[in-house]
Structure 1
Amino acid sequence: MKNISSLCALLFLILLGYTPFICAQTLSDYSVKGVLVDSITLEKEPYATIRIMKQADLKNPVKLAVTDINGKFNERIPAIGKFLLTITSIGKKTVIKNFEVTPTKKHIDLGTLYTKESTEELKGVEVVAQKPLVKAEIDKISYSIEDDPDSKTNTTLEMLRKVPLVTVDGEDNIQVNGSSSFKVYVNGKPNSLMSNNPKEVLRSLPATSIKTIEVITEPGAKYDAEGVGGILNIITTGTKMEGYTATLSARASNTGIGANAYSTVQIGKVTLTGNYSYNYENEPKSIIDEGREDYTSDKYYNLVSHNERKNKGNFQLGQLEGSYEIDSLNLVTFNANMFGGSFRSPTNWSSHMFNKSGDLMYAYHRGGYSKNSFGNVGANLDYQHSFKKKGKYLTLSYKLDYTPNGFKSETTYDSLYQVPYILREQYSDIDSHTTEHTAQLDLVNPITDKHYIDFGAKYIYRINYSDAKMYQANDNGTLEYYEAGSSKYQQDRNIIAGYFDYQLKLTKWGFKAGFRYEHTFMDVKYDLTPERNFHTNYDDIVPTVNISYMLAQTKTLRFNYNLRINRPSIWYLNPFVDRSDPNSISYGNPDLDTEKAHNLGLTFSSFSQKFNINTGFNYFFINNGIERYQFINNGVLETTFGNVGHTQNVGYNMWVNWNPTNNTRISINGSERYSDYKSDELNARRHGWSTNLFGNIQQTLPWKLRFSMYGGGSTKHVTLQGTVSSSHYYGISLSKSFLKEDRLNISAYANHFLSQYTTYRDEKTTDTFHSWSESRYPSRGFAINISWRFGKLNAQVKHTNRSIINDDTKAGGNSQGQSETGGGN
């Protein structure tokens, strides 16, 4: 708490001291003001471009600015003299006004200036102010990554710290709307690998490949009902590129290297977009110390372990997207993507057991390695028929998704001291995958300009499969198959769904409501223990309501209610027992049920050219949350999952962006949250407050250098059985563009440069044990990135207005049950 308080105070002082400095650069004793109005409608003209030039030098403006939301302007003039002012807005005639500033007439009031529609074709408009980064709609908030200068240097995970309603802690764990249960899409389509391993994938994805991140906190009935926190929809630049264009980039850091390529080309009616990325990571050593006190045993009371770990590996991703426009009413699109990689980690683990008096009872060292491989291959085919009635269209879609994952580990034991049980060399080989086939039909029919309905049907056939083989050394030291420690498991799901949405748009009011019905047939088979096979089916009805009211042209108030569900994925269900550490085992729970969360929210948004704010309250509760929990069984710590959580979560969030000058941007992203976790089954309850805060300052320096300074952190927060320590982070970045149209960009950044390691501490306390973990992760990072864009933009990859979005499974971490994403824990 002390660290985060000091960081918040430092951030406040920086902002307080920095703001007068940047504002003082523009102070002057002379000014000109006025208001721009349409001569016919008498409406104010917001965001019109203002140029102020000396009459003796019309080529070099002394001031560039824009009118505010009410068409007003009040700009400083650097000196006395005769000036020419022009005001240009899209579709309107240019306003020209001469004025003179003298020592006796320092402040000029031009009064009301009138403009009218222009009959001439505009050749171009120069934008002189920073673009607003955030846009609020009735069911989502969009953050423009490409318009943020930090995207030139940062990864997508680092940019997420700036996105409203998203928090990223010091260990890069992500929460959306206060929940770690959310889904990740890419270009409106679910991405299984990003949902299952969001921080690993987004940490390696360059932000230069991202156009926009949408936070869909109030998914309508058209979306699958899964995801408590909502949906992160990542819109890549590849889907919006036009014509022949390509971007090549390379990255080098103290932890690895990476390269990326993006390209779009049009051939007749066919438009193709492709991208490919490769990353190699060699992380410095991490150190993890753990301890456990077993209240049920005086003899084996205190277990202390020391683990040193390194991760080394690579991953690559690629995507090919295309469209074929048959005619003006018929469009076919397709998408194919792949993702894959593997990381290898050597094992160096020592354990010592003490009795309650502090005497050493036994000790051993565990060595070996683990290799985690992951991947995803997917393909979409969409056909859209547009009717002659504007806005009415029918979409037919098919999606195939295959997600293979593998985990291999070899465990050896040495340096044994009085160990009371037999430790044998082990080898585990886990092959698991998920296969999905999905068909969908959507129809959108605008009844009038104010009313429209949207309905459709969907069928999903999903197979979760795991084959976990365990091998153990016999008395002769030879590895042989160990059936009692192995498992073979398959879960088949058939999901039939239908939805209906209705939306009403009035002058100031917006209303959107709908419901979704889902019926699931499920078969579960255990090849090694067929007596456990079972079949079941269940129904879910999911309502959703969104109401918005426009207080002013750029100010909106929104209320929402929705029900979200989480179906456990293979990571949570896999019954394989990991026994590599004889004092601590972990396994999944194939009997998990669907988790349901009720969400209520109230949000206020105000966006203008200089100041933007999005703030609100939200509340959600879960009565059957999927929680990762631990317990002592005969001296062994067991970790698994269960529908044992009752969660209540109320929070306040605020995102603020201020542009005091055209070259300066200051933003703050924070949240305050009270969480109450309870489990009658575990006789456990924890509740408390937590705070997240992120601040960022961006400044354009002379020679068009872009400088950024950022930092933030989170306070200690509670989980169902314990607490997680506070965290903090900080960094700086610098970038510059070269060549015509800024086609070459060179950028560099430094994170946590004052310390090599960052320490986190987790604790869990129950009636039978107390455990703690203190992890020191390498946090210091330096990197340089170079990107080059070439080609001409003149075509666009078209998309059907609807496509398949599967988001009905709860993402997990790995087959060893080490994910902390369950149920808001």
Structure 2
Amino acid sequence: MKQKLVNQIVLLIFLLLPCTTMLAQNTPGQGGVKGIVVDANNHAGAAFVAVRVKQADGTVVKVGVSGPDGKFLIKGINRTGNYAVTFSAMNYQAKSVDFQFKDSSVAEVVMDTVYLEPQHVQLKEVGIVADKPIVKQKSGMISYDMQADPDSKSSNVLMMVRKIPYLSLDANENITLKGNSDFKVLINGKSSGMFEHDLKNILKTMPASSIARIDVYTIPPARFDAEGAGGIINIVTIPKVKDEYKGTISISDKGPVGGPGAGGSFTLKKDKFGFSTFMGGNFFNNPITDNVTERTTLVETPTILTQSSKEKGNGRTGYVGVDLSCEIDSVKLVTGKFNINGNHQENNKYFESRQTTGGAPSQEYNLANSVNNSSNGMDAGIDYQISGRKNEGSRLTFSYKYSSASGYPENSGDISDTLNFNMADYMQNNDQQTREHTAQVDYVYPKNNLTIEAGVKGIFRDNKSEYKYYAYDESSKGFELQADLSDLFNYNQTVLAAYNSYIYNVKSWNFQGGFRVEKTNIDANFLGGTKKVKQDYVSFFPNVSINKGFKNNHSLNVGFTQRMKRPGMNRLNPFVDRQDPGFVFTGNPGLKPVIVNSVSVGYNIPGKINFTGGADYTWLRKVDLPITTYDSLTNITTSTFANTGNIKGLSAFVYAAYNVTGHFSTSVNGDVIYFWIDGLENGTIIKNELLTYAVNLTLSYSFKHRWRARADGNLLSKNPTGFQGTSNGLLATSFGLSKDLLHGKLTIDAGINNPFNKYRHSRTYTTGTNFYQTSNNRVYYRLVMLTVNYNFGKMTGNIKKSKTTIRNNDLSNGKGM
């Protein structure tokens, strides 16, 4: 296996090595532009200024950076047409200078000295790439500008996540923030239920070219709900328009896993009215895959269970989101939003279960399982913002939001060829309903260098889950409801919150601090109302962040935050999923919230080599970790959650980007995390210590005639699944070639993932006090993709929108750690 990985790495290097030798140079019919850019005050050369050559329509054709002495030289420019050269750097006002090749025989245009005026503002942000900085940093957050990354033209949002600092994808393409799968996702600063249920598939259909930027909050301010252990991801889709329109349409197809998909966005601004929509959908096909699960019990009479299965499935998902705005007058603004989403999945699985005791068969059965799962959701909200007349920065905002979601998973099992296995054929379903009302008031008051924020909020949730189990009855020749395996679960939750925060800027310092208080009341009942769960608690969450700017635009950021993991419906629901009779899953309605503490530090170095790095120490106690137990009486392995563990993690994160030439660029994004995890299973403490890492390397080369090639490599180590187990790592590669047409408005991209391997073996290992088990799932790894992306319209202004709004980011769902 090691030799195979080495061969793949060596082959990847040789495939990419020729790109590094293709330096920018003039070809017949092309010329260059050179000059010097200086500080307008002291006339010293301005180092590492971003220099971009643009066509008359604003399309960027060449990019460069001034040297330490301020001199620049950009080659490979067609000698026909009019151009503009833009210059920008942090702490300087941007400048644009027009030029053209007046004589086709002139090889280079020498520009007059370019003087940049210093920008006299408080240092609040540090840009890592100028002109359109790809990465910016503020206290407690970073921002990744999608429009500044050329790869966004031919990628979906999920593909771009690997390049964003602090974010990575695990082996199943699930997002992690600082190595944590517990975080919250917002769209245009607002929460949406569609991300709670189908985040991965929605981001796959969302073209990256329709995204303005992605903000990653590692130390979220007090105005955000306290939930989300890792932090908050905010996806901003609304582009800048002024009495004009802008849109994006993307169509893609992939196989053998996947299928056709489409996504897009459209924004219109006319006078005081604004309209923006984003939408997408895809069909998904998963060909037949194989799985082998083995469980060995360590009891008085040991057993070995082996399950071999084949599985295939298909599905579809879709979503539509709309944002509206109306400027009533110069100080009053009304904004609204409406989102709907739907998902349907079908899955068929056939497996053979064989158990031996002392080497002899002790239990056998075959099972044909069919699963259908349909879900949908919607949310609608309105914000009314009043800005101050005398103090334009002050604003008072009233917000309301309603959301609902429903799901109806159902599955059936046909059992045959049994030995010492008396379970009847079955059907089970679960009717899930969620309703939520939220009201919020926010106030912002700036005064000189100080900004004060305060607000109150109320969330009122009503959740219901009615699950039923039917068993086949030979006497009636039909399926009969099993009352002892069916129930109605009602879960009502009220969260009342208030926050206060302060932001203070002085010279090159930025200070942010605040606190949030939340009162939570829970009233739940199940088992026919005979069992109830009641919780009533008050929590206090402080946070502080300090940003210091240094010479050469270097920046240091340190902070502390305390947040909460409040269990969501998927973890609380006591419904027992019996798709596999030998391995069942159920929620735990008695789960309690978990307090998350985190200390972090980050440093930014802008320039030709753009770098941002950070370190983080996070600790949690009485965590709601997944726990797996084996019952020797029933011969069943049960997975659920329990507040039984502790987690500590020490992390380091690195992002770096380097424009080797005007054509060739590279970036790397990675993290290293050391976990200390322990938990209690069957009265025994189990400890798990593990060093994990994730590295993504991206190389891209721009050829003439608007051709662009890219290569990606992604290396993941094994990762903990909890205190009882781990999942294996991977090495993934991806190659793509794209072509821009119609002056850059149309992009066609073809790519292939993992050309060296048709399949990948996804393995998980779980250990308990009286058993250990492994699961080996063989999945398709090689993937061929084709994407067509078209941008239309113009961008010159802004759609005005409420600065504060409802963000319900206070629940954590899912079956993972």
Assess same fold via TM > 0.5: yes
How far apart, CA to CA, are the structure 2 residues paired with 1:801 and 1:7?
52
Deviation at 1:390, TM superposition (A): 2.6
How far apart, CA to CA, are the structure 2 residues paired with 1:759 and 1:316?
30
Q: 1:249 to 1:180 in 2, by over 3 A?
A: closer
How far apart, CA to CA, are the structure 2 residues paired with 1:601 and 1:579?
42
Aligned to 1:685: 687
Of 595, 598, 609, the residue aligned with 1:611 is 609
Q: Could you tell me whether the CA contact under 8 Å between 1:566 and 1:595 is conserved in 2? A: yes
Is 1:729 the equivalent of 2:727?
no
Is 1:487 the equivalent of 2:487?
yes
Q: Could you tell me whether the CA contact under 8 Å between 1:177 and 1:229 is conserved in 2? A: yes
Deviation at 1:44, TM superposition (A): 4.4
How far apart, CA to CA, are the structure 2 residues paired with 1:311 and 1:532?
37
Of 283, 288, 293, the residue aligned with 2:286 is 283
Which amino acid letter does the alignment assign opposite residue 732 of structure 1? F
Aligned to 2:123: none
Is 1:800 the equivalent of 2:802?
yes
Deviation at 1:51, TM superposition (A): 8.4
Three-state SS of the structure 2 residue aligned to 1:229 is coil
Q: Could you tell me whether the CA contact under 8 Å between 2:333 and 2:386 is conserved in 1? A: yes
How far apart, CA to CA, are the structure 2 residues paired with 1:804 and 1:41?
49
Structure 1: give runs of 5+ residues left out of the alignment. 53-62, 79-84, 97-108, 119-127, 813-818
Is 1:217 the equivalent of 2:218?
yes
Deviation at 1:41, TM superposition (A): 8.6
How far apart, CA to CA, are the structure 2 residues paired with 1:487 and 1:341?
25
Aligned to 1:59: none
How far apart, CA to CA, are the structure 2 residues paired with 1:74 and 1:796?
33
Which amino acid letter does the alignment assign opposite residue 696 of structure 2? F
Per mean C-alpha deviation after superposition, the further-off stretch among 241-250 and 530-539 is: 241-250
Of 414, 417, 425, the residue aligned with 2:416 is 414
CA RMSD of the aligned region, Å? Answer: 3.2
After superposition, where does 1:608-757 map in structure 2 within 5 Å? 608=607, 610-633=608-631, 634=633, 635-680=635-680, 682-718=684-720, 719-739=722-742, 741-757=743-759
How far apart, CA to CA, are the structure 2 residues paired with 1:293 and 1:778?
28
How far apart, CA to CA, are the structure 1 residues paired with 2:662 and 2:795?
27
After superposition, where does 1:546-585 map in structure 2 within 5 Å? 546-585=545-584
Three-state SS of the structure 2 residue aligned to 1:703 is helix
How far apart, CA to CA, are the structure 2 residues paired with 1:495 and 1:117?
48
How far apart, CA to CA, are the structure 2 residues paired with 1:264 and 1:171?
33
Deviation at 1:245, TM superposition (A): 3.4
Aligned to 1:274: 277
Q: Could you tell me whether the CA contact under 8 Å between 2:626 and 2:642 is conserved in 1? A: yes
Which amino acid letter does the alignment assign opposite residue 405 of structure 2? T
Q: Could you tell me whether the CA contact under 8 Å between 1:377 and 1:403 is conserved in 2? A: yes
Is 1:543 the equivalent of 2:546?
no
Aligned to 1:72: 70
Q: Normalised by the size of structure 1, how large is the TM-score?
A: 0.87
How far apart, CA to CA, are the structure 2 residues paired with 1:571 and 1:77?
57
Task: Show CA shifts across 1:557-584 (max 9, x none).
Answer: 1111101101111100010112332222
How far apart, CA to CA, are the structure 2 residues paired with 1:12 and 1:784?
22
Taking only the aligned residue pairs, the percentage that are identical comes to 26
Deviation at 1:7, TM superposition (A): 8.3
Aligned to 1:337: 339
Deviation at 1:184, TM superposition (A): 1.0
How far apart, CA to CA, are the structure 1 residues paired with 2:3 and 2:496?
50
Q: Could you tell me whether the CA contact under 8 Å between 1:292 and 1:303 is conserved in 2? A: yes
Three-state SS of the structure 1 residue aligned to 2:497 is strand
Three-state SS of the structure 1 residue aligned to 2:328 is strand
Deviation at 1:307, TM superposition (A): 1.8
Of 294, 298, 301, the residue aligned with 2:301 is 298
Q: Could you tell me whether the CA contact under 8 Å between 1:494 and 1:521 is conserved in 2? A: yes
How far apart, CA to CA, are the structure 2 residues paired with 1:447 and 1:658?
40
Aligned to 2:466: 467
Which amino acid letter does the alignment assign opposite residue 690 of structure 1? T
Task: Show CA shifts across 1:124-168 (max 9, x none).
Answer: xxxx99843211111211112233232233222221111110111
Deviation at 1:47, TM superposition (A): 2.6
Is 1:138 the equivalent of 2:136?
no
How far apart, CA to CA, are the structure 1 residues paired with 2:146 and 2:689?
35
Is 1:436 the equivalent of 2:439?
no
Q: 1:287 to 1:771 in 2, by over 3 A?
A: same
Is 1:502 the equivalent of 2:505?
no
Q: 1:242 to 1:645 in 2, by over 3 A?
A: farther
Q: Could you tell me whether the CA contact under 8 Å between 1:621 and 1:647 is conserved in 2? A: yes
Q: 1:428 to 1:766 in 2, by over 3 A?
A: same
Q: Could you tell me whether the CA contact under 8 Å between 1:170 and 1:729 is conserved in 2? A: no
Q: Could you tell me whether the CA contact under 8 Å between 1:11 and 1:695 is conserved in 2? A: no
Aligned to 1:445: 445
How far apart, CA to CA, are the structure 2 residues paired with 1:250 and 1:593?
44
Aligned to 1:81: none
How far apart, CA to CA, are the structure 2 residues paired with 1:86 and 1:273?
31
How far apart, CA to CA, are the structure 2 residues paired with 1:578 and 1:704?
53
Three-state SS of the structure 2 residue aligned to 1:146 is helix
Three-state SS of the structure 2 residue aligned to 1:586 is strand
Three-state SS of the structure 2 residue aligned to 1:283 is strand
How far apart, CA to CA, are the structure 2 residues paired with 1:24 and 1:596?
53
Q: 1:425 to 1:601 in 2, by over 3 A?
A: same
Q: Could you tell me whether the CA contact under 8 Å between 1:337 and 1:377 is conserved in 2? A: yes
How far apart, CA to CA, are the structure 1 residues paired with 2:685 and 2:584?
21
Structure 2: give runs of 5+ residues left out of the alignment. 55-60, 77-82, 88-92, 100-109, 120-128
Three-state SS of the structure 1 residue aligned to 2:306 is strand
Task: Show CA shifts across 1:520-553 (max 9, x none).
Answer: 1111122x43121243310110000101111235
Three-state SS of the structure 2 residue aligned to 1:742 is coil
Q: Normalised by the size of structure 2, how large is the TM-score?
A: 0.88
Q: Could you tell me whether the CA contact under 8 Å between 1:469 and 1:486 is conserved in 2? A: yes
How far apart, CA to CA, are the structure 1 residues paired with 2:408 and 2:392?
49
Three-state SS of the structure 2 residue aligned to 1:754 is coil
Which amino acid letter does the alignment assign opposite residue 311 of structure 1? G
How far apart, CA to CA, are the structure 1 residues paired with 2:479 and 2:662?
68
Which amino acid letter does the alignment assign opposite residue 647 of structure 2? T
How far apart, CA to CA, are the structure 2 residues paired with 1:162 and 1:117?
31
Q: 1:743 to 1:491 in 2, by over 3 A?
A: same
How far apart, CA to CA, are the structure 1 residues paired with 2:579 and 2:416?
14
Task: Show CA shifts across 1:223-263 (max 9, x none).
Answer: 00001110111112568686233333322222311123432
